[in-house]
Structure 1
C-alpha cells in the first residue's frame, strides 16, 4: 500500500469515488481513496437513486446537470452499466402558487441549458392514466433525468478511477490528521471484522498527502473533530417504502404503457417511482429527527433505523389519492436511514476553514444527484485554482464559528421538512431564530421589523404594522410586503431613512506590512489617511473573491468592511493571504471586529439635517459639509455621548453616512437618532428597499453580480482597477479578457411581479443573451429593474432584450450605468 500521494480522498461513497475519478481525469496521477468499510456502505447503499434536475441554485443546477450527463457516459468508458433509467421527472402542482414556483425555476433552468416541458392535467392523464389529475394545475416535466442504481454508478466511477490510476483501499479508517506545513500526515488504522462489527486492528500506517479531500458522509462530525473545525453536516432520518406489485400498474405496463417518470407531488411532500411492478414512496414529512450529531456509533455500519409509519401516514394517504390503484397494495420493504443535511440543504464543497490543502465534500442530502458534478467542479478548484462556475454558495465557510451542534440539528431537521415546501425567493425559515441579534433588535421588532437572517444575524427586511403576517405576505410575485418596501425606498429617495447594517463583516488590518500587503491583495489604489476606497480581492484565477470598503485610519492601519453573509469566508482568505506574504511584506495583524461594532446607515436628502441635531462639534452647522466631511471620507465624530466612526458613503446612492459605533452603545444611539429624526419624517428601512435602491445606482453586490466566475473587469468596474500596479490575480484577470459584461436593465414586466435575479435574458430572435443576477422594483423609474450579465457585444445602453418571467417574454432595455443620478450629484450634495 502506497504511503505518499498527491491527493488522498477519504470516503468511498458516490461523492468520494467521483472526486477521485475526476482528480485523475484532470491530470493528477497519484490519487488514493480510502474507505473504512466497503464502497457504498454509507448512505449510498440505501439511497433511492433519484436524479432531479430541479434546483433553484445556479451553481447546484450546474452540478446536477453535469451528473445527469456524465452518468450516461460511464458504461462506454468502463463497461459497467450504471443502471440509469431515463424516465424523466414529473413535478405536479396542485396550486397556482406552485406553478409560479416552477416558472421561476424554469427560467433558471434556461440559463443552465436544462431542458423541460410544461404539461397540462389532461396531457398527464393521457400519457399516464393511473395518475389522478382532476385537482392539478399542471406540471413541469424534465425528460432527460430519472433514477439510477446508486451502487452501480458508484462502482462504475470506481472502475473508471482505477482505470485512470487511482488506488482504492478498503477497510482503512482515518484516525488523525496532522499538517506539517507542506503536507498532511494521515494516520490510518486497518479495520477488521469481529462478531459482525467492524473494529480497529493494531495495524496502523501514516499516509502523507499534499491534498486531502473528506467525503465522509454520515461520519462528518467525526471528521470535523479530527480536523478541529465545526461543520454543520448532520444526518436526518429519511424513510421510504416499497410496495408489492400493483396489479393495475403491472397490467398497464403489460399492455405497452410507458414507465412512469419519477412523480413528485410537492404539495403532498413526496416522490414516487416504479419498482418492479410496484411503487417506491419517499416522503419528506414533519418530525424527522437528526441523528449522529456527535458521531456515528462504531456498531452502525450499513444499518437502518426502525420505520415510523405513523410519521408518514399523511404522505402515504396522499400517494393513494394521487395513485388510486395503490390503495390495496401491500408493503414489501421499507428503509429508514441517515441522510446528511446542512442548514440550507446545500452541501459543503471547497476548502476547509483555517486549513491548508484540506478540502471538504460533505453534507449531501442529494448525494447521488450531486456526486458527478461535485467531483468535476471540486477537481477544477483543486487542480486549476477555481471552478468555471461560482462555488461560493457551497463554500464550507458560509457557516461561521458561531455555529453550534444544536443550531445545526434544528436547521437540518427544518431543511429536511422544507424539501417540498413552496420555496419563495423571499422565504425566511424560522428554526433556531432569533439567535444573533444586535442590541436594537427588540426596539426594531417593536416598530414592526420583519426580520431575515444573514450569517445568523437578524436583519430587518422591511417594517410593517404590528400583527402583520410575514409568512402570509410571501409570494413569487409582489407579496404583501411589497408596498411597505416601496414606501421605505421612497423615504430614502425623498427624505431620510435609517438602516441597521450591523451584520456587515468588519476587519482591522494593521502593522508594518499592512500597507504593502493590502496594495498587493486588492486591485484598486489604497486610500489616503481619512479616506475610503471600494476595492476587490481577486482569486488566483483573476475572478472576484471579495469586495471591500477600505477605510485608512492611519499610515499602517485599515478598517475593512465587507458583506455580512461572508464573515468567515472573508476572514479565512484574508488571513491565509497575509500569512503567505508575511515574509515579503513583514508583520501584519488581522482582527475580526465584526461583533464589536454596530452599524446604522442613514441616507436621504434630509440625512445631514438629522445628524446635525445630535452631532457634538464646535460648529455643528458645518461639521458635515463637503469641506469638512467630503464624500468618500471617514471621520471620528460624537453623536451625543456615542463615539462614532462615520463613513460618508451610502449603498443607496443618496446623501448619507455609515455610522460604525461601539455595539454596547447601540440602543443609546438608536434612541438618539430616532428622536432627532422625528421632525424630519425619518423612516426605518429594511434590506429589500435597500436592494432595490442599490440597483438604481448599478451598485454590484457580492454573491450576485460579484463572484468567482467573473472578473472585476467583466463586472464593468474599470474605475476600481489600478492596472499600473501589480496585484494578486492581475495576470489571470487580464488573460481571461471580457467573456461577458455586467449591465443594468429597466424592465417593462407584469403589473404584479418583478424579477428576482434568476431570470434568463434573450435577444428578440430568441437567442440566449445572458441572465439576471439581481432584480426588483425601481421607485425612481416606476418599473422593474435588474442587473445581470450579457454577451459583451450587447452591453450597450439602448440594447433591447427580453426577460423571461412566468413563462412569458417581457421587454427589457439596457440602460446607462447608474441610471439614477449618473453624475452622483445627490450623493455629493453640500449644505
Structure 2
C-alpha cells in the first residue's frame, strides 16, 4: 500500500470511483480505500436509473455529464457498463404536473438537455401496455435510461486504475489528523469473522495532501471522526421485481424495451426487468436508518420489505400498466439510500477543515457519480468548477443542525421525491425551529413563513382572520395564492412604508490590529470610512464572486459585516480560513466573531419611513436626527428608538428611503411593538421576502445564489463600480484575466397573464438560446414581469430585444438600464 499520495478517496461506491477516476485523469496521484468490497454499500442494490430531470441548474449539469460520460466507458476500459439507453417517460396526471414539466423544460434548455413533450395519444401509440386515457401528457428524455450500478462502478474503477489510481479494499479509516500541510489517515485492516466484517490488529498510516470522503451510509461515522456535522442519513427505499408479464413478453417480440416509466403523481418509477417489471415507490412513511452509525453486522444487507407501506403505489402501477395485475412478485429489495434535508448532495470543502472534501448524501448516486467526480475534481485541481457548485456546498447547513433534524427532514425529502416541486414550496417538517423573538407576533398578524437556514422568515402576510376556506398553502407554477398579498406589500413600500424582518441576515464582527489590512485584501471594493458603509465582494482565487458583504466601519480596525442569511456557515468558514491565510503570510492578528444570533434586524423602507422613525427616536433634535445632513445615505449611526439601542444603517434593499435597524435580539419584541404603533398612523404595512425580492429586481440589485456566484466574476455581474482596481485583492488578476464572457442584465417581459418567471428560464434571440434568467418576478412599478440574468456581451445593450421561454412559449423581453426604477437613486437620497 502507498504511504504518500496527493489525494486519498475514502469509499468505493459509484461516487468514490467516479471521483478517483477524474482526479487521476487530472494528473493527481490518487488512492482509493474501501472498508469492504467495491459497490458493497448502497451501490449494489441501487436500481441504476439515470434521470436527467432535476430543477437544480448545477445538479442538471452533473447528471448530464454522467449520462454522457458513461457512454464512453466501454471504449476506454473494455468493460460494458450495462447502459441501456431506453429513455425516460415522466407522465402527468394533472395540469399542475404539466406546468412543472414546462418549468423544468426551461432549466433543461439552459443546460442543453434534450427532451420532448408527448400527448396521451402519442404515449398509447408508442407503448400500448401503458394506460394513458387519464393522463395530461408526458415529458420524454430519449437519451437516458438505466445502467447496472456494479458494472459502471467497476468500469470507472478500471478507468481509474488505468490513470494510475491504487485501489485498496478491506481497509477502514479509523482516524484523521491534520498536520498543517497534510492529512495523516489511520487505516485498519478489516477481516471476515462469522459473516461479519470486523477490524483486525493490523494498522497503517497514509499521508495525503487532500482527502475526499464518499462514505455513503457511513457518513455519520465520518462526521464523528472529523469532528463536524454531516446531515447525510439514509432512508429506507424499497422496490419489487415481478415475475415475467406474458403481455410484455409478447409485446417485446417486435418492439424495443419500454422507457423507464415514471408516474410522478402516483409516486413511483417502473422499468422492465427480465420480462417483468421493477416497481420503485417513494411512499410516505419510509423511516430513516443509521442515524448515528451503521452496525458492523450490516454489510451488503437489506431490511425486511414492508408491503403494506407501498400498497397504494403498487395498486397504482396495476392501474397504469393493467397487464401487471396478474403477475406475481419474484423479488424484493429494501435498502438504505442516503438523503439530505433538501435532497441535494453535499459536495465541496468540509467546514472548518483544510484540504478535506465531502461527497456525501447522494440519493441519486448512480446518476450523479460521474458528474460529481468531474466537477469536484475541477474544484480540487483548478480552484473552481466551471459551474457554480454553491448550492451543493456542505456548509449550507450550520452547526445548529442536529441528527434528529437531519433524520426527520431526510424522511420528508424522500417522500417528496415525486411531490410537485413548486418554486414557492415550503416544507413543514421540523418547523418552527429557529425563531426570532417577534415570530409569535408576526404569526398572529397573518405572517406566512418560509425557512432560510433554519430560520422562520415571513414570506408574506395573509389575512390574519382568514376563513377556513382560505388556503395559505395554495402554491402554483403560475401565481400562487400569496401573489396578490405580495403585490400589495410591494406597493406599500413604493407608496408609504413597509417593515421587513431581516433577522436571518448573517452578521460578523471583524476587528483587531490586522482587520483593515485583511479586509482590504479580502474584498474588492475600497473600505468605508469610519461611520460609513460599503457594498463589496470577496472573490475566489479564480476571480469569481464568493460572497457579498455590506461592511459597516465602526472604528479604525473595527468592522461589522452583513451577508446573506442562507449562507452563514458558508461565509463564516471562508472568512475565518482567509484570515488564517492572511496571518500566516505575515499579517497582524484578526479577531472574527459570528454574531448572527445576537442581533435582530428590521428593515423599514418607503417614502414615510423617516416620518415613522421620527415618532420614536430619542434625540435632542428628532426632526433633524434622520436628515441627510446628520444621517446621510450609506452611513451608519447608533441611535435610540424608545428604550432600544439600535445600530442603524441607512440602506434599503428595496431601493427606497430606508434604514436597517440592527438591535439586541432580546429587545426585539419591544422594538416590534414600538414600530407598529408608530407606523400605524402613516400607513405602514408588514412586508415579506417575496415582495422584497421583486423590489430589488426593479433596482437591479444582484443577489448571492442567483446573479452572484462562483461561475461569474464581479465584472461579468456588472459590479464595476464596486471594484477598486487601484488596490490588490484576492482574485484580482484572475478576474482581469477572465475578462467578460457574459454580462448580467435586467429585462422587462411582456409575459402571460397568470405566470411570472422564477429565474430558471431560457433567454432566446432568433430562436436560439443565448442566456438564462437567474431571478424573476412581477414589477409593481412597471406593471409587467421582470427578470435578471446573463447573456453574451453583445446582447447586453439597453434596448436589445430578446425572448424568454415560459410555459413552452416565447414572450417578448427587452434589456433595460440597470436600476430601471429610480436609476438616479433620488428616492433613496431624498431629504426630509
**TM-score normalised to the size of structure 2?**
0.99
Which residue number corresponds to residue 18 of structure 2? 18
Alignment check: 8 A CA contact 1:653 1:827 kept: yes
CA deviations 1:607-626 (Å, max 9, x no partner) are 00000000000000000000
Alignment of 1:504-583 (within 5 A): 504-583=505-584
Task: Indicate conservation of the 8 Å contact 2:499/2:602, yes or no.
Answer: yes
Look up the match of 1:641. Answer: 643
Residues 11 and 470 (structure 1), Cα distance of their counterparts in 2 relative to 1, 3 Å cut: farther
Q: Distance in 1 between matches of 2:780 and 2:21?
A: 52
* 1: CA distance, partners of 2:2 / 2:676: 68
Q: Compared with structure 1, are the counterparts of its residues 471 and 122 closer, same or farther at alpha carbon in structure 2 (3 Å cutoff)?
A: farther
1:277 aligns with 2:279: no
Name the residue aligned to 1:595. Answer: 597
Measured in 1, the distance between the counterparts of 2:651 and 2:377 equals 40
Q: Select which of 331, 355, 358 maps to 1:357.
A: 355
Partner of 2:627: 625
Q: Quote how far apart the aligned CAs of 1:470 are.
A: 5.3
Partner of 1:8: 8
Partner of 2:34: 35
- Identify unmatched segments of 5+ residues in structure 1: none
Hey, what's the Cα distance between the residues in 2 that align with 1:11 and 1:549? 41
Deviations 1:484-537 (A, max 9, x none): 000000000000000000000000000000000000000000000000000000
Partner Cα separation in structure 2 for residue 363 and residue 740 of structure 1: 33
Q: Is residue 472–residue 482 contact of structure 2 (8 Å, CA) maintained in 1? A: no
Counterpart CA distance in 2 for 1:450 and 1:473 is 11
Partner of residue 500, structure 2: 499
1:165 corresponds in structure 2 to 164
Structure 2 equivalent of residue 609 of structure 1: 611
- Point out 4+ residue stretches in structure 1 off by more than 6 angstroms: none
Tell me what 2:74 maps to: 75
Distance 2:228 2:124 in 1: 52
Deviations 1:426-474 (A, max 9, x none): 0000000000000000000000000000000000000001347555421
Matches within 5 A, 1:678-827: 678-763=680-765, 765-827=766-828
**Residue 63 (structure 2) aligns with:** 64
Aligned 8 A contact 1:773 1:789 in 2:
yes
1:338 and 1:474 map into 2 onto residues whose CA distance is 32
Deviations 1:200-236, CA, capped at 9 Å, x for gaps:
1110001110000000000000000000000100000
Q: CA deviation at 1:26?
A: 1.0
Give the alignment of 1:402-551 within 5 angstroms: 402-466=400-464, 467=466, 472-551=473-552
Q: What residue number does 1:677 align with?
A: 679
Q: Which moved more, 1:586-595 or 1:192-201?
A: 192-201
In structure 2, distance between residues paired with 1:258 and 1:482? 47
Please give the alpha-carbon distance, in whole angstroms, between the structure 2 residues aligned to 1:767 and 1:325. 43
Contact 2:472 2:481 in 1 (8 A): no
CA distance in 2, matches of 1:54, 1:503: 32
Q: How does 1:117-156 map to 2 (within 5 A)?
A: 117-156=116-155
Establish whether residue 314 from structure 1 lines up as the match of residue 312 from structure 2.
yes
Distance 1:718 1:436 in 2: 37
Q: CA deviation at 1:569?
A: 0.2
Q: Distance in 2 between matches of 1:123 and 1:81?
A: 33
**Is 1:224 aligned to residue 223 of structure 2?**
yes
**Does structure 2 retain, via aligned residues, the 8 Å contact 1:246–1:277?**
yes
Matched residues in 1 for 2:612 and 2:144: separation? 59
Structure 2 SS opposite 1:579: helix
Tell me the alpha carbon deviations over residues 676-718 of structure 1, each in whole angstroms, 9 at most, x when there is no partner: 0010011000000000000000000000000000000000010
- 1:275-298 deviation line (CA, Å, top 9, x unaligned): 010000000000000000001000
Aligned residue in 1 for 2:338: 340
Write the deviation string for residues 266-318 of structure 1: whole angstroms up to 9, x where unpaired: 00000000001000000000000000000100000000000000000000000
In structure 2, the residue matched to 1:262 is 260
TM-score w.r.t. the length of structure 1 is 0.99
Give, in whole Å, the separation in 1 of the partners of 2:405 and 2:743: 40
- Confirm or deny: 8 A CA contact 1:233 1:363 kept in the other structure: yes
Q: What SS is found at the alignment partner of 2:222? A: helix
Q: How far does residue 46 in structure 1 lie from its aligned partner after superposition?
A: 0.1
Whole-Å separation in 1 of the counterparts to 2:5 and 2:644: 58
1:176 and 1:226 in contact (8 A); partners too: yes
Query: How far, CA to CA, are the matches of 1:297 and 1:551 in structure 2?
Result: 51
For residue 585 of structure 1, what is the aligned residue in structure 2?
587
Q: Given that residues 658 and 828 in structure 2 are in contact (C-alpha distance below 8 angstroms), is that contact kept between their aligned partners in structure 1?
A: yes
Q: Secondary structure in 1 aligned to 2:387?
A: coil
Q: 1:244, 1:441 → 2: CA distance?
A: 55
Q: Which runs of 5+ in 2 are unaligned?
A: none
Q: What does residue 660 of structure 1 align with?
A: 662
RMSD of aligned residue pairs (Cα, Å): 0.6
1:207 corresponding residue in structure 2:
206
CA distance in 1, matches of 2:411, 2:474: 24
CA distance in 1, matches of 2:613, 2:148: 65
Distance 2:518 2:203 in 1: 43
d(CA) in 2 for partners of 1:278, 1:470: 43
How far apart, CA to CA, are the structure 1 residues paired with 2:676 and 2:113? 50
Alignment partners' CA distance in 2, 1:3 and 1:641: 64
CA distance 1:631–1:614, change in 2 (3 Å): same
Q: Is the 8 A contact 2:462 2:472 kept in 1?
A: no
Q: Is the contact made by 2:88 and 2:144 (CA closer than 8 Å) also made in structure 1?
A: yes
Preserved CA contact (<8 Å) 1:450 1:470: no
Give the distance between the partners of 1:759 and 1:96, measured in 2 at CA: 19
CA–CA distance in structure 2, aligned partners of residues 40 and 707 of structure 1: 35
Residue in structure 1 matched with residue 653 of structure 2 by the alignment: 651
Residue in structure 2 matching 1:300, options 298, 301, 318? 298
Match of 1:100 in 2: 99
Deviation at 1:9, TM superposition (A): 0.2
Q: Is the 8 A contact 2:552 2:561 kept in 1?
A: yes
**Contact 1:470–1:481 at 8 Å: present in 2 too?**
no
